[in-house]
Amino acid sequence: MRTLATQVKLRRLIRAFAEARERLASEPFERRRVGPVVDRLLELAGDVRESWRREASLRPLEAPLDAYVAGALRTLELAIAGLRQVGADLELLRGDFETAALPLEVFMRGLDAEPALQRSA
């Protein structure tokens, strides 16, 4: 399975989330400026979801693995949306985001390595 496009988009989202969280934590960030930041992050998350949909349609995963990806993507989107809330716990949201995003990135790399692993087994 080829997931390179999704991996690139996911890494872009991970970087953008980290930058946004730093800005929110380090500056007295005005609430009116939070909305556009969250909107951009949600747009990037949508790009990841759409890219995954296209790549997975070429070679669908078994239901439990597909459910894992869907759950991880949902967690990413919920963590991003949480940034918009007044008084949001940025560290908790960062942890939720990273707990979903980083294993998902590794999982997708493993999907690309799968044919090589099958040949060597």
Q: How many CB atoms lie within 10 A of CB 52?
A: 23
* pTM score of the predicted model: 0.88
Which domains does the chain show, CATH number per domain? 4-116 (1.20.120)
pLDDT tens column, 13-57: 999 999 998 888 876 666 667 889 999 999 999 999 999 999 999
Residue 83 contacts residue 20 (beta carbons within 8 Å): yes
